[in-house]
Each structure stands twice: as structure tokens, then as C-alpha cells.
Amino acid sequence: MSIQDPHHTDPMSATTSTEDQLAGMHRSVVVIGGGQAGLSMSWWLADRGIDHVVLEADRAGHEWRDRRWDSFCLVTPNWQCALPGFGYAGDDPDGFMVRDEIVEYLEKFVASFNPPLVEGVRATALRARAAGTFEIRTDRGTLTADQVVVATGPYQVPRTPRVAERLPEGIHQLHSSQYRNADELPEGAVLVVGTGQSGSQIAEDLHLAGRQVHLATGTAPRVARFYRGRDCVAWLSDMGTYTKGIEQFSDTETVRHKTNHYVTGRDGGRDIDLRRFAREGMRLHGRLAAVTGDGTLSFGPELRANLNGADAVSEGIKDSIDAYIDANGIDAPVEERRAPVWQPGPEADEPYELDLAEAGITTVIWSTGFGRDNRWIELPIFDGRGYPTHDRGVTSQPGLYFLGLPWQHTWGSGRFSGVADDAEHLLEQIVTARRGSAVADGLHWLAGTPASSYPDLDRDEDWVAPRTAN
């Protein structure tokens, strides 16, 4: 893999901060989060010569390096990797970078412009000050800023359902973010709960490793990897799917929080066909409904509907590609539609139970998504579900922005393909922002007092992160 040299301005190395410099520091912009979103924001700020600092709780690229399994790879082609000034320029644009290559891509991006990045510092509070600026408290001192960009990502807190507490003590449990490979798990069958991108790919990884896999399915849609001679992503890109703004949809909330389609880039890319896995011995189930104290699992009767629903979405995407090809007179090979290779038996249409011990299940992997934890942001900018209210990342609090949220503006928001455009948009807002009336430290909260507008860490021991996009 090779990366093109970016056309860039001076990296502003003089603004790079050390631990001793954080306390009392003031910057025009503080960017919180050093993933692809925060780094993209830094690139644009540096390009415009705006003094800033990027705070990262771990290391740049931490999410890719430490919370992905060994065989993980992108599900979008390499040509969609387009960080600002740093697009993919390797010899496999239609391939899919594996985990270590993704980390290398980010590391080279950082090295290309030497951002003012401080790693290993966690923001613990964000508040507005009477002077119209912001105060950012961290575990390494307090600093201030004229404007703040929150780029902490959507996948902060692994979500595990309370039903997990009912599993027998001898069952090994882990969240999908903790899974690395089949060899690290105890011997025996594995139950994977959830069929979003992570759950489906982990189930495939275990299946290919020869493990007996049970998969509790959900309503996640799927998409074909290739159709009519091209990757479906290439067709959809030509069709303008990935640049369509969320304001063009009638139900923005449904779009913003919908589950991603499952597919894989593994071994050059292919479909994830749960029906084929079932024909090869994987056990598919409906929704995991309950766990009894004796280790019995109850599943709902949704398996057939879940499989048919995922297939319907995939076929609908193919229909839209067919229509695009016909409308534009494109010469593309005709591809025959194939019937499903497996159907669940009639027993799947009724609730049923499974005994963990009889099935030999020793491990349960919860692929049940993530939540956001914004309790450290002490500003009234959230809706009733804890989601930040914004317009293309611009909040109602003057000078405060979000970057890297799913569907912040388009499908590519937060991804390698679209985060650069979102960051550039915020740059223009930052440059042109004219601060309104300052928010006093004695802030008038929308309801109650500041402490009652978000959970109290000392009292709310059972607080669970709000659900967000999977």
C-alpha cells in the first residue's frame, strides 16, 4: 500500500502541546477526539492556519487498532478512503484494507502533517464560560477555547443487554469489540447475538475456523458485494447514493439511526449469506428473547422474517442498479437472480428454547451495538435520547460542533469516504462564526439544575448509555 503525498501547508508544529502545557492553555479551537474525524478537522484547521489542539484519550487510531478482530477488513473499497489531502494511492483500489493496513493509513496521515495532537488525555467536562468561550477540563489540566469540535465518535460504550446477567457463571461472555479470533475462546460452540456488520462477520470468522456457531439474528439488512460486473458500492457511488444529504429524506431520524447493511471485504470481498452458512451447519435462530436461570435460551419466531427482510433489501438495491443501468444505456453483463439456498423449517415459526449445555455452547459474543456517553458535556444541546441536536454538525450552542456522527450529513459522514467534506464544512462555520451572546457560567438550564440535566455519576450506578446507530 502506498499513499499519495498531500499538498499541505506548514504543519504548525509550534502549536503541538505537551502534558505540562495543557493546564491554562487557550486555543482558538480545541478538537476532542483523535480518530479520522478529529484528525480531518485538524488538517483543515492547519491548512487555514488556525491555532488549535487535538485531544485524544488513547492513541490516534485506537478504535481500529484495539477494538477490531484479527481478520477485520474494510467493507468499503480502498478507493473510498479519502481523508483530506491523503487519498488512497495504492495498487489495489478495489480491494479492502485489513486492520493493520487501516492503522498504517491513519499513522501515515498523522505523520504527513504533524497535527498538534496530545494523546493519552481524556476530556472530563465541557462547559461554557461567561466570556463566551469554553472550558475543557481534562485529567491533565483545564484549558479554554473560543470554539470546540467534539469528534469522539458514535461507538463509545459497548452495549450488553441485561439478559446477559442471567447466563450461567461458566459461560464465557464478551462484547464484539473484545473479540480477536477463534483460538482465544474456550473450546465448544459459540453463540453470536446480533447480525449487524460485526455480528455477521464474527459469525463468519468463527464458522471458517471450524467452530460450531449459533447465530441469533436481528433485522439488519444486507447488500450484495458484486452485481452486474462491479462492486455494488461502485454502482451506488455513481448513482449519487453516498452524497445525498440527509435533509433529502422524509424521515431523517429513521435514516440517521438505521443499522448498516452486512457484507464483507474479506478475501477480496463477497456476500455474507447466512442461508449458505446454515446449509453448511451454522445454527440460525430468531431474536434472543430470554435466558432462564438454568441456562435455557428462548428465541422468538422471527428467523424467517429476518432472512426474508435482509434479502428483500439486497434485491431492492439490485433493482435500483438495474434501473440506473437501463436509464443510462450502460453496457453491463446481465446477472441472473438466484433463489435462496436454504429455508428454515416450520419449527422456526414458533418460539422455541435451547439448552446451552446440551448445545455445547461455552461462549456468548454480544454484537449488540454501542451507546454514546456525553455526560461530560454540560450544555443543553441534546434530545430526549441523548443525541446531540445539530445541523450538519453545528449545534445551537454558538461555537460548539460535532464531527464524525453517522449520517451527520451523508452516508459517508464519519467514514473515510465523507468525513473530509464534513470537516471542511465545519471549517467554514468556524471561520465565519460570529459569536452571539455569551453563555454565563450561571447557565439557565432547560430543566432543573445542571446536575439534574444529566446522570450523577455518584448516584446513577445503573446508568446505561443511550442506544445509538449500530
DSSP calls for 153-213: -S--EE---GGGGGS-TTSEEEEGGG---GGGSPSSEEEEE--SHHHHHHHHHHHHTT--E
Specify the 3-state DSSP secondary structure of 240.
coil
Listed as ranges, residues in the chain with pLDDT below 50 are 1-19, 434-470
Given this model, what pLDDT does residue 449 score? Answer: 32
Question: Cα separation of 393 and 377, whole Å?
Answer: 15
Residue with cell 436461570: 293
Which 8-state DSSP code applies to residue 357? H
Give the E-state strand segments of 271-427 in sequence order: 283-285, 288-291, 296-299, 352-355, 361-366, 370-371, 400-402
299-346 tens-digit pLDDT: 999 999 999 999 999 999 999 999 999 999 999 999 999 999 999 999
Which 8-state DSSP code applies to residue 88? B
Residue 408, number of CB atoms within 10 A of its CB: 25
Question: Cα separation of 399 and 146, whole Å?
Answer: 7
Given this model, what pLDDT does residue 371 score? Answer: 86
Q: Label each residue of 288-334 as H, E or C.
A: EEEECCCCEEEECCCHHHHHHHHHHHHHHHHHHHHHHHHHCCCCCCC
Beta bridge partners of 262: 222
Residue 311, phi-psi category: left (phi > 0), alpha (psi -120 to 50), beta (remainder): alpha
Given this model, what pLDDT does residue 20 score? Answer: 52
Beta bridge partners of 18: none
Given this model, what pLDDT does residue 193 score? Answer: 98
First to last CA, the chain: 30
Question: Cα separation of 356 and 255, whole Å?
Answer: 37
Please list, in sequence order, all residues whose beta carbon lies within 8 angstroms of the beta carbon of residue 209, skipping any fewer than 6 positions away: 181, 182, 183
201-235 tens-digit pLDDT: 999 999 999 999 999 999 999 999 999 999 999 99
Q: What's the pTM?
A: 0.87
